Structure 1
Amino acid sequence: MTSMGNAARPGPDPQVVKQAISWALRLRNNRSNVRLHAQCEQWREAHQDHELAWQRVQALQQELSSQLTSIPGAHRALETSAQGLGRRQALKMLSGVLIASSAAWVSRDLTGWQRWTSDLATATGERRSIQLPDGTRLQLNTDSAVDLDFNPQQRLIKLVRGEILVTCGTSTSAPLLVQTRHGLLEGIDGRFSVRQDAECTLLSVVSGNVAIHSPHQADGLSTQVHAGESYLVRQTEVVPAPPINMDVGAWADGLIVTRGMRLADFLAEVGRYRHGYLGCSSEIADLRLSGVFRLEDTDKLLAVLPQTLPVQLRYRTRWWVSLERAV
């Protein structure tokens, strides 16, 4: 599939995440230091991303602790080992757990504040279907958010982040518009999906027609997209998308339907529906797979892969999963 992320807003700089980890370590080793606690509070209040990074690091620490409590003696062993490490080594170890194992989660879910401020939103792994006042059917994919502006003069859906599927009919009232950071789309009696990345918007028309109004088109004309066509809308251009090796709207039915898709790309797609790290070794990244996969339980979905490909699953924790070549 065309490379598309799912963050409508860049996550906090990795350095901010490292700072949050550093504060967590310092406070862990100096719980009674009032001045240090005050300094940490000042750092958290200095910027919104500081607080978001802090909350995510705390959540990840709690989840790691809950994983360890299920293993007798594991938590004590980890504490003993940590006491033998210097601050630099401890920071490196914790960074490896909290950043390397969940970098995708951190970059995505630290923007969870948008779920509270948007008109409609979904969490990671959640899908939602809504019928709008004009009869338009709006479906939100995992980790998505939209704002709505419907009045007698306009019908506007603003895609804040993620992916939507829109089914609209012919209307004599104001046109149905979908706004992304890269352009304005006008739906005309049909069904189409819109997926927004930091770099571009992917428009795929299932039925009907959609007009792309981009202020960056030199001739000032709109691009007409018909059923079966997909386009990439960037800040500087509107171009046909490369062939897509999955059904773009299958997620609305809780499915991923692939046709000769690279394993690495498939795992990136599945990773949108679960927390944590999901990846594979480079030696199996180019393996191809086709099939219909259900999304309601991604662990069950992953368990099917060794039955069709020469791979094996390796779970380090519930939220760190990697695939390697089967031995």
Structure 2
Amino acid sequence: MAADDDAPDPIEDAAARWAVEQDAGLTDEGIAALEQWLGSDSRHPPAFEKARAAWRFMGHPAIRSEVAQRRLSEPPLPGYPPVGRPGGKRKWIAPAIAASIALVVVGTIRDWPTALQSDAMTATGEQRTLTLADGSQVRLNTDSAISIDYQTDRRIVHVLKGEAAFSVARDPQRPFSVEAKGGSTTALGTRFIVDRHADTTQVTVTQHSVRVAAPGFGASTAIVKEGQSVAYGKSGIGSIHAIDANAASAWTRKRLVFVDQPLRDVVAELNRYHPGFIVIIGTDLGDRRVSGIFRTNNPVAALDTLQASLKLGSTRLTDRVIFIHR
């Protein structure tokens, strides 16, 4: 049986947590346990040094904000019983350890509440194409979920989270609509993409046209044509604007296209496909402009290319936790 590349590495796991505990201040018992662990295997010291290098960046405000949202239980360190210690650093040690473990050795934690509601769901970095009962096709992007509600007089697909591209089979007797965040997008013989964000839903048309309605936000409607995009949210439907349909649908071909985009936006998009944690250290670096075409199924390779072309450095705790800096 082939090894699972995403399986937890117990050495990297322990090294990451030892680095955090050492930074917080070890007791005499903890120092002895760390020394014993370092001397018990020749692989432990280099793993520990690598973890310490990555941990230097963990105090950055952007990272603290991110790790504060993570939740994961902490198994005890090898040979060191979990003993609470006073001190300011200890206040955020738990979520920081949780983040390093979650991102380095566990990856994404499945969204079970959404999974229970969905008929189809993808993990981070996964894409999936479904053929529905009427012959329509749906391609789910990374970390996305839908539920299907086909009835005798209508066809409804709910985007529960993430992004989905639709290719609709014609059936004049049963309109095809996609619902997300209280609004709906009805196909008028078409191909289109619905991307559900936290506050808004983006509708992009790649063939023919759709009717977008946001009845919960002032009963506004709009006809969006091929090569156009529009967003709706609590304030209603925004302005319709032209887009590059080929670039907008590139993810359906496992590609990401960027034309003169800020590095922070590019990294944010790569993070959608990366089962880990990529952070830019330094606000000015995020302003650097980027153009390129990258594969969705290898965000780390895309990051390597960006790093080389922009002459940037990186510190990595495996390929799961990556800090981009000068």
**TM-score, normalising length from structure 1?**
0.70
Partner of 2:168 in structure 1?
Answer: 168
Residues in 1 aligned to 2:127 and 2:116: alpha-carbon distance in whole angstroms: 16
Partner of 1:11 in structure 2?
Answer: none
Partner of 2:44 in structure 1?
Answer: 72
Partner of 2:298 in structure 1?
Answer: 297
Partner of 2:312 in structure 1?
Answer: 311
Retained in 1: the 8 A contact 2:220–2:237? no
Residues in 2 aligned to 1:301 and 1:196: alpha-carbon distance in whole angstroms: 25
Partner of 1:256 in structure 2?
Answer: 256
Alignment: residue pair count: 264
Deviations 1:149-206 (A, max 9, x none): 1121110000111100011143222110000013011011111111111201011111
Indicate the SS of the match to 1:308.
helix
Which amino acid in 1 is paired with 2:14?
A: S
Give the drift of 1:84.
8.6
Which amino acid in 2 is paired with 1:253?
A: R
Retained in 2: the 8 A contact 1:279–1:322? yes
Give the drift of 1:128.
0.3
Residues in 2 aligned to 1:200 and 1:112: alpha-carbon distance in whole angstroms: 23
Does 313-322 or 286-295 show the bigger shift?
313-322
Which amino acid in 2 is paired with 1:234?
A: G
Residues in 1 aligned to 2:164 and 2:254: alpha-carbon distance in whole angstroms: 14
Residues in 2 aligned to 1:62 and 1:129: alpha-carbon distance in whole angstroms: 37
Which amino acid in 1 is paired with 2:205?
A: V
Deviations 1:87-132 (A, max 9, x none): 55555333323248969x99x7463442344101111111000111
Does 59-68 or 300-309 show the bigger shift?
59-68
Residues in 2 aligned to 1:189 and 1:120: alpha-carbon distance in whole angstroms: 23
1:225/1:101 CA distance change after superposition, 3 Å? farther
1:228/1:270 CA distance change after superposition, 3 Å? same
1:249/1:273 CA distance change after superposition, 3 Å? same
Partner of 1:284 in structure 2?
Answer: 285
Residues in 1 aligned to 2:132 and 2:10: alpha-carbon distance in whole angstroms: 40
Which amino acid in 1 is paired with 2:269?
A: E
How large is the RMSD of aligned CA atoms in angstroms? 3.5
1:83/1:102 CA distance change after superposition, 3 Å? closer
1:86/1:72 CA distance change after superposition, 3 Å? same
Give the drift of 1:142.
0.6
Residues in 2 aligned to 1:309 and 1:98: alpha-carbon distance in whole angstroms: 32
Partner of 2:182 in structure 1?
Answer: 182
Give the drift of 1:144.
0.6
Retained in 2: the 8 A contact 1:182–1:233? no
Indicate the SS of the match to 1:272.
helix
Residues in 1 aligned to 2:172 and 2:83: alpha-carbon distance in whole angstroms: 72
Retained in 2: the 8 A contact 1:169–1:188? no
Retained in 2: the 8 A contact 1:102–1:277? no
1:70/1:217 CA distance change after superposition, 3 Å? farther
Residues in 1 aligned to 2:85 and 2:308: alpha-carbon distance in whole angstroms: 45
Which amino acid in 1 is paired with 2:187?
A: G
Which amino acid in 1 is paired with 2:209?
A: N
Indicate the SS of the match to 1:240.
coil
Residues in 2 aligned to 1:82 and 1:92: alpha-carbon distance in whole angstroms: 19
Residues in 1 aligned to 2:277 and 2:296: alpha-carbon distance in whole angstroms: 17
- Equivalent residues in 2 for 1:4-43, closer than 5 Å: none
Partner of 1:138 in structure 2?
Answer: 138
Indicate the SS of the match to 1:222.
strand
1:226 and 2:175 matched: no
Consecutive unaligned residues in structure 1, runs of 5 or more? 1-58
Retained in 2: the 8 A contact 1:182–1:235? no
Give the drift of 1:228.
1.1
Residues in 2 aligned to 1:243 and 1:260: alpha-carbon distance in whole angstroms: 17
Residues in 2 aligned to 1:240 and 1:62: alpha-carbon distance in whole angstroms: 52
**TM-score, normalising length from structure 2?**
0.70
Which amino acid in 2 is paired with 1:239?
A: G
1:115/1:87 CA distance change after superposition, 3 Å? farther
Retained in 1: the 8 A contact 2:11–2:44? no
Which amino acid in 2 is paired with 1:290?
A: S
Indicate the SS of the match to 1:135.
coil
Retained in 2: the 8 A contact 1:188–1:210? yes
Partner of 2:59 in structure 1?
Answer: none
Give the drift of 1:221.
5.4
- Equivalent residues in 2 for 1:75-86, closer than 5 Å: 86=85
1:70/1:238 CA distance change after superposition, 3 Å? farther
- Equivalent residues in 2 for 1:237-256, closer than 5 Å: 237-240=236-239, 247-256=247-256
